[in-house]
Amino acid sequence: MGMTMTQKILAAHAGLPSVCAGQLIEADLDLVLGNDITSPVAIHEMEKMKTDGVFDKDKIALVLDHFVPNKDIKSAQHCKCVREFACRHDITNYFDVGEMGIEHALLPEKGLTVAGDVIIGADSHTCTYGALGAFSTGVGSTDMAAGMATGKAWFKVPAAIRFELTGKPAKWVSGKDIILHIIGMIGVDGALYKSMEFVGDGIAYLTMDDRFTIANMAIEAGGKNGIFPVDERAEQYMKEHSKRPYRIYEADEDAVYEETYTIDLSALRPTVAFPHLPENTRTIDEVGDIPVDQVVIGSCTNGRMEDLRVAASILKGRKVAKGVRVIVIPATQKIYLDAMEEGLLKTFVEAGAVVSTPTCGPCLGGYMGILAEGERCVSTTNRNFVGRMGHTDSEIYLASPAVAAASAVTGKISDPDSI
């Protein structure tokens, strides 16, 4: 029986000739990731193990990004815990204020994730790195602790769903619209504990930023991971960002998939997820008249350079609608600097938006844009659960940077072609 791309990676890291769906394996890890919320819990658990140290100081990444710069005393204490641990164990890839960025944008940028890796992270959106042909998945803080101590993790090998992407997307259709369409089609549990494997000629039209966005939100369909084949564009990205060797795995022709979906990208329209689930999607033509109070452009899903360029192209020479708050959050320091040098930050400020230092900020209801009762937000983030961004009676509408920027100008959820 043939293996999927994910299954081949797991078999290699388990030292096995083959694996099958449902099999329990122990696999070697190439990277263990934690942030300022999840790492303190893992650190305390690791201390209970009474280990001599970490398995490999070069294969652990600690990124302070959720409440950084610290918003209160508790978040400062969490960061102090991580900072002291990183110093004590001489962690190579430790990113604090001035060097940090949103973890899932920062690690590929720094070349820490490459094709063929097995990566765990104590954050559900660790599945982002599947864009580069890696197996990456979110775990709990206890698993992170065990991973830091031993360099290994237990997995149940996931079954797979195949998504064949065909055709070329229209102008304003991005990776965000594609993954929202998929989640709307299969539901938030449609890929529960399954590998979402993306194939097809349509991938050639997707930039790396599009692919990172799609893989990032695999978890919103319940997926164990999302993964793309490694083509010339992915290889070029890795060569530009990383000095690490990578290994390309390809699915067998007789690999088993539980389901196969074919999606014509040329037929898609900009898509918005209404409250309070990512599966509650409508195309921009079905939205109706929805006024908004706030717009957020950023996050591990859509805070990359292309996202900012698209938003700036719409906001340039225009003004944010009166009564609308617009918050732009570049995902890393490099993206912030590049956006500044390109003049994008000037465009945002002149339009009436504010620009933040890299942080997860309002995505998880942290800070930098909490919603009050009854307020509505169009956000390029990844979740719109009840109370996710503030008051339980607020509403979050998930959208692409293009739709978010257009909505900022009109004051209501809008088609970028309409302005």
pLDDT tens profile 129-169: 999 999 999 999 999 999 999 999 999 999 999 999 999 99
Q: Provide CATH code, domain 5-263.
A: 3.30.499.10
Q: H or E element: which one contains 409?
A: helix 401-410
Least Cα distance to 271 among 195, 131, 174 occurs for: 174
The series of mean pLDDT values per 10 residues for the chain, 419 residues long, is 95 97 98 97 92 94 95 96 96 94 97 98 97 98 96 97 98 97 97 97 97 98 98 97 96 96 98 97 96 98 98 97 97 98 98 97 94 98 95 97 98 94
> What is the C-alpha to C-alpha distance for residues 285 and 293, in angstroms, rounded to an integer?
21
* Residue positions counted in the chain: 419
The DSSP letter of residue 44 is H
Residue 398 CB-density burial (10 A; 0-12 exposed, 13-18 middle, 19+ buried): buried
Least Cα distance to 180 among 42, 69, 272, 300 occurs for: 272
| Pair 10, 154: CB distance under 8 Å | no
Q: In a 3-state reduction of DSSP, which class is residue 38?
A: coil
Q: What pLDDT is recorded for position 162? A: 98
> What is the C-alpha to C-alpha distance for residues 87 and 243, in angstroms, rounded to an integer?
24
Instruction: Provide the greatest CA pair distance for the chain.
Output: 62
> What is the C-alpha to C-alpha distance for residues 14 and 120, in angstroms, rounded to an integer?
15
Q: What pLDDT is recorded for position 50? A: 81
Strands 271-273 and 281-283, by their bridges, are: antiparallel
Which residue spans within 16-109 are E strands per DSSP?
24-28, 31-35, 60-63, 93-95
Residue-by-residue DSSP string for 186-237? H-TTTTTTEEEEEESGGGGG--HHHHHHHHHGGGGGT-SEEE----HHHHHH
Q: Which CATH number is correct for 273-418, 3.40.50.720, 3.40.1410.10, 3.30.499.10, 3.30.70.580?
A: 3.30.499.10
Domain boundaries, the chain: 5-263, 273-418
> What is the C-alpha to C-alpha distance for residues 143 and 138, in angstroms, rounded to an integer?
10
Give me the sign of the Cα torsion angle 265, 335, 96, 111. positive
Evaluate if pTM is beyond 0.85: yes
Least Cα distance to 50 among 149, 151, 122 occurs for: 149
Task: Report the amino acid identity of residue 320.
Answer: V
| Pair 173, 202: CB distance under 8 Å | no
Q: H or E element: which one contains 103?
A: helix 103-109
Q: What pLDDT is recorded for position 247? A: 97
Q: What pLDDT is recorded for position 1? A: 79
